[in-house]
Structure 1
């Protein structure tokens, strides 16, 4: 291979006398030699850095040569000569350069990347953007003048990303992911049939990191297509059925990506009118709430609360169907100091989206709030972590403020009752007065 690259280098040194197409065919040869090679061990286990020790030195050398030759050719002839090539050759060079750089730019901590490969990839992308007169790679890929690039990119990757090959080409998966996240509406729809299969393969893997990658890709893809475009490839109902089983085996680092992805899919298949009756939002709650109720590990509890707030916001008023169970969860989580801040953030979301029914659960909610407020004030008096106490108080105050806006009469009565209660401390009363008394 080294001899082949030396020959390419010699051809560039005599480029003034060479045919322009021959020059770029030599560049293509170098690019092909610079891709991360197949790693058969990937079929048996996730790849490790030691699997790429020999490749890294070769990659750095090839990147260095490739960048120098690109610069020399363009400095000598300008980009105009590049665009005078046959369209197929222009596209071939561009597609291969983008995919090569994507192997190293999606995650600069990948097992096959080095600081040098990342640096050269960034320089080449800047170089290509300048050549195409674009500000960045997103503009380059989404420019209507370059709309033929996207299908070419996916088709070039396809042989490496089949169900029985993708684990041998982890760098190609990174390149795919990098490309997917650069595509924006309305350019995702026309290549949906090309981009979606790899995402579905990733979702079906046993390695959590791959599933998270698949979820994040699917979230981005669905966000950037219309409901009609989605139906051209597959029904949203099928995607939901693909995601639903993951709810039964939740992991903290998977949960956020899964919920965000479910929300995006459900937003395409469930209308606001549909939410008046039982929908897949309720199916998710039916599966998820028992896990939240029974969870004892702090990391899991925190992950549940953070994701639940986002889900309730998307679900809207229909989550009032689950108010009794949610209030029981609030009561349990608010009793644990480390869970309180996240708990009251979720409670705030719940109150804000179910405001027409607030009077129905006002007493239960305020009991939870006041118990926690009393505990936090007592903790502050006993010299506990004041910073943590202050953030919890702020979350509680937000809940009280929104209740004051939604049900002012009930809050006014509560304020009077608190200030007339002799068993409550002056600190508690003064705090409450300053926020909610008229």
Structure 2
């Protein structure tokens, strides 16, 4: 049935009936031109309606608004990957901007009606439509292949007005509720996203994963733990994809869950172990960004995996997941020649040594080889890998000091060689970076001297007499001063 240009509801016909007819006209099966025409007519109908009277006298308005919002949100959705060629991105963005204008008009009417009737009369009518309007806003508010500046602006304005009408100060409050006992819209939003987040269909709509991820990151503890069954499976599904971009997105979702769900809830039903195995498998992929995301997540997951154990002295302490991960990292680090991966591994190594503490001695032999090997290799102007390795060496000496004296000669040679290389470096390395490397080497020599009862300063006495380079002499004197053991040759 074709409708004439609306001039308000016809006698004897409720506006809710007209809205449902427009919903049928805007169904996905119709052509794009017909849908655009329907959107224009719907915008005019919303603008001419007497909303205060309708909200009080038409009981079908909430359901009708929910159906209209669902239909409009579906029309504005990016083209599916399987038929992406049938709807060019510019045309889709233009339609999204027009649909955003319709939502803006509707929300403006709701806001005006709320001023005259009060929130109690307006919010029940808007409640079924609010999750759909939110998903539209999140889908189009950021720069994506399916958006344009106009559609982004419209979506951002819709979201801001939605929050204002709902009396919410932020997106987080809109989703979780004002207090822990107050229900928000997170459950409803996840209910709408759930059908598109299964193994068969989650890639059809390219915006679904971004809407899920962005929404998930808005909700923190203590609210997030109430929704664990809804958010964990989609996060694992996205992280298990073959595309690196999706893996990283999924790992970021898992990391947010780890940070905002109590450890007791993660241990329940063996969830922490499931997370650990899913993350551990990613460590075999040579993708620096993915490795970085996985290691950061694992470091925050370890406390939930490794409960404090009662250790009996005669028995060896059991190894844990942190040991397994560090062993694999060191295995990968030793032969690695790609600079980005070397920097990624070195960046995270200090955190593992800090977490294991004295138990790092289990890995000391391989750790020694990695430290010496990485100190020898120039890492570019920023020298990130060598700076992190120096930090790792300092922590290793501090935590494993009983086992260090037998390795004194190895570490001392490596550090002195590093000092000489830095002093003689004629590359483009900035002076602040060289200064940071020298200071790191001095710190390592100082703690090495402390744990060896002054052997370092004794061994450095002879080079101090024969060395002619002022910068190297200055480093040796600083080590003596920091150690509190100044020799006659060094004064």
Confirm or deny: 8 A CA contact 1:129 1:140 kept in the other structure.
yes
Mapped to 2, the partners of 1:395 and 1:248 lie a distance apart of: 31
- The change in CA–CA distance for 1:101 and 1:365 in structure 2 (over 3 A counts) is farther
Gaps of 5+ in 2: 1-34, 312-316, 485-491
Q: CA deviation at 1:419?
A: 4.5
Mapped to 1, the partners of 2:66 and 2:186 lie a distance apart of: 21
CA-to-partner distance for each residue in 1:240-259, whole Å, 9 max, x for gaps? 12222222223112110111
The equivalent residue for 2:48 is 13
- The counterpart of 1:37, out of the listed 58, 66, 77, is 77
The equivalent residue for 1:345 is 388
Q: CA deviation at 1:213?
A: 0.5
Confirm or deny: 8 A CA contact 1:341 1:391 kept in the other structure.
no
- The counterpart of 1:123, out of the listed 148, 153, 157, is 157
- The change in CA–CA distance for 1:123 and 1:402 in structure 2 (over 3 A counts) is farther
Worse-matched range after superposition: 94-103 or 141-150: 141-150
Confirm or deny: 8 A CA contact 2:81 2:205 kept in the other structure.
no
Please tell me whether residue 97 in structure 1 is matched to residue 119 in structure 2.
no
SS in 2 for 1:336: coil
SS in 2 for 1:84: helix
Q: TM-score, normalised by structure 2?
A: 0.78
Mapped to 1, the partners of 2:286 and 2:324 lie a distance apart of: 16
Please tell me whether residue 365 in structure 1 is matched to residue 365 in structure 2.
no
Please tell me whether residue 265 in structure 1 is matched to residue 311 in structure 2.
no
Mapped to 1, the partners of 2:459 and 2:86 lie a distance apart of: 65
CA-to-partner distance for each residue in 1:321-342, whole Å, 9 max, x for gaps? 1122112111111111116542
Please tell me whether residue 227 in structure 1 is matched to residue 263 in structure 2.
yes
Confirm or deny: 8 A CA contact 2:420 2:472 kept in the other structure.
yes
Mapped to 2, the partners of 1:34 and 1:101 lie a distance apart of: 9
When you count helix as a share of all residues, which structure comes out higher?
Answer: 1
CA-to-partner distance for each residue in 1:140-173, whole Å, 9 max, x for gaps? 3332264242221111111111111110012121
The equivalent residue for 1:278 is 319
- The counterpart of 1:391, out of the listed 427, 430, 433, is 433
Mapped to 2, the partners of 1:118 and 1:419 lie a distance apart of: 68
Mapped to 2, the partners of 1:284 and 1:316 lie a distance apart of: 15
- The counterpart of 1:74, out of the listed 87, 104, 111, is 111
- The change in CA–CA distance for 1:19 and 1:250 in structure 2 (over 3 A counts) is same
Q: CA deviation at 1:13?
A: 1.9
Q: CA deviation at 1:203?
A: 1.7
Q: CA deviation at 1:18?
A: 4.6
Confirm or deny: 8 A CA contact 2:266 2:272 kept in the other structure.
yes
Mapped to 1, the partners of 2:149 and 2:457 lie a distance apart of: 61
Worse-matched range after superposition: 326-335 or 184-193: 326-335
SS in 2 for 1:324: helix
Q: CA deviation at 1:196?
A: 1.0
- The change in CA–CA distance for 1:177 and 1:426 in structure 2 (over 3 A counts) is same
SS in 2 for 1:119: helix
Mapped to 2, the partners of 1:354 and 1:50 lie a distance apart of: 62
Q: CA deviation at 1:16?
A: 4.3
Pairwise CA RMSD = 3.1
Confirm or deny: 8 A CA contact 1:52 1:112 kept in the other structure.
yes
Confirm or deny: 8 A CA contact 1:302 1:342 kept in the other structure.
yes
Confirm or deny: 8 A CA contact 1:49 1:112 kept in the other structure.
no
Confirm or deny: 8 A CA contact 1:377 1:428 kept in the other structure.
yes
Please tell me whether residue 185 in structure 1 is matched to residue 221 in structure 2.
yes
The equivalent residue for 2:470 is 426
Mapped to 2, the partners of 1:197 and 1:57 lie a distance apart of: 34
Mapped to 2, the partners of 1:316 and 1:42 lie a distance apart of: 52
- Which gives a bigger RCO, structure 1 or 2 (Cα 8 Å, sep 6+)? 1
Please tell me whether residue 109 in structure 1 is matched to residue 152 in structure 2.
no
SS in 2 for 1:264: helix
Worse-matched range after superposition: 250-259 or 355-364: 355-364
Mapped to 2, the partners of 1:252 and 1:274 lie a distance apart of: 37
The equivalent residue for 2:36 is 2
What aligned pairs does 1:271-420 form with structure 2 within 5 A after superposition?
Answer: 271-273=307-309, 276-338=317-379, 340-352=383-395, 355-361=398-404, 363=408, 364-379=410-425, 382=426, 384-387=427-430, 389-398=431-440, 400-401=442-443, 404=446, 408=450, 410=452, 412-420=454-462
SS in 2 for 1:19: helix
Mapped to 2, the partners of 1:274 and 1:336 lie a distance apart of: 42
SS in 2 for 1:135: coil
Confirm or deny: 8 A CA contact 1:157 1:172 kept in the other structure.
yes
The equivalent residue for 2:95 is 58
- The change in CA–CA distance for 1:125 and 1:92 in structure 2 (over 3 A counts) is same
Mapped to 2, the partners of 1:435 and 1:50 lie a distance apart of: 68
Mapped to 2, the partners of 1:205 and 1:48 lie a distance apart of: 23
Mapped to 2, the partners of 1:247 and 1:96 lie a distance apart of: 38
Confirm or deny: 8 A CA contact 1:129 1:136 kept in the other structure.
yes
Confirm or deny: 8 A CA contact 1:100 1:175 kept in the other structure.
no
Q: TM-score, normalised by structure 1?
A: 0.86
Gaps of 5+ in 1: none
